[in-house]
Amino acid sequence: MVAYEDRVEPRDETLHRARLLVADGTARVVTVVNLSPNGFMARCDAPLAVGETVTIALPIVGAFAAEVRWALGGRIGCKLALEVPPALYQFVLAAMRDGAAG
């Protein structure tokens, strides 16, 4: 499982329901389980393909494009195309932990 091994950045735990748009424009609701400035893991009911580009709505900072790096058993790991700005990351995380809508 190289996808797990190549992650060098620690993740912060959260349980946050977020809106995810897939390439065909379909919206899905996912539960973000953990987050870092450069990626996230989420539970997702519908299967997504590795390499697929998605867009996730994050509180405070809005929509971010991401690439699905792995998918396994109803979970996906995604790498964000752009880093969550360091000055805003703790605010994003706090909003996700407080249950703010994305």
Q: Domain ranges in the chain?
A: 2-97
User: Rounded to an integer, what distance in angstroms lies between the CA atom of residue 102 and that of residue 95?
Assistant: 9
Instruction: Please list the pLDDT of the chain residue by residue as tens digits (102 residues).
Output: 344 445 567 899 999 999 999 988 999 999 999 999 999 999 998 889 999 999 999 999 999 999 999 999 999 999 999 999 999 999 999 999 986 444
pLDDT of residue 7: 55
pLDDT of residue 6: 55
Per CATH, the homologous superfamily of domain 2-97 is: predicted glycosyltransferase like domains (2.40.10.220)
pLDDT of residue 100: 47
Find all residues with CB under 8 Å of 99, minimum gap 6, and list them.
16
User: Rounded to an integer, what distance in angstroms lies between the CA atom of residue 18 and that of residue 86?
Assistant: 20
User: Rounded to an integer, what distance in angstroms lies between the CA atom of residue 51 and that of residue 75?
Assistant: 14
User: Rounded to an integer, what distance in angstroms lies between the CA atom of residue 89 and that of residue 87?
Assistant: 6
Nearest to 7 by CA among 50, 47, 41: 41
